[in-house]
Structure 1
């Protein structure tokens, strides 16, 4: 399966490794939104968001919120809906959604509500 890429940017196949700044780390949702029908882009994006949003320290909490603010929740839900038969997208999406939405503070509750309505 051929995956389209932005010029000189590997974000569409490796969102977590992007150096262009457009899709780096918590901005993996941008690559996912740019290529919603590409299962491999969705899989990579979900796993990147899962990894970026891990951690319970202050930096991890900040990354969660940045990912949500950048449209990560909506990108994950869209990936899950667009690729219901692709197990790796479903697995990565569930993990990513968990990591973005986990927590007991008001911000976490708001992220969970966004996931419900996405």
Structure 2
């Protein structure tokens, strides 16, 4: 996503890239970690598969637990870095890991949740 920003017509990827840059500038990371990034749809599936345990860990450190939306919901999805094409971006609603949605830029409200790796 970062390497493709600014190529071709404006897309969801460009909007997400702007968010990544702003977040990276605002929130420091530990020395041994990667830069902040938006997870791929496969990484979101791993999160969904382990959502209960991940939320327990997030709560222990005082973070905001991740939510799950009902299948077919039009809001509350987590945007991924996985593009389908120039117009569509994959999102994930958690919902027990049961589904993935394709959302057109601006058509459904969602949220970015940044990750980093150690």
TM-score normalised to structure 1 length: 0.26
- Structure number with the higher helix fraction is 1
Higher RCO structure, 1 or 2 (CA under 8 Å, sep 6+): 2
- Structure number with the higher strand fraction is 2
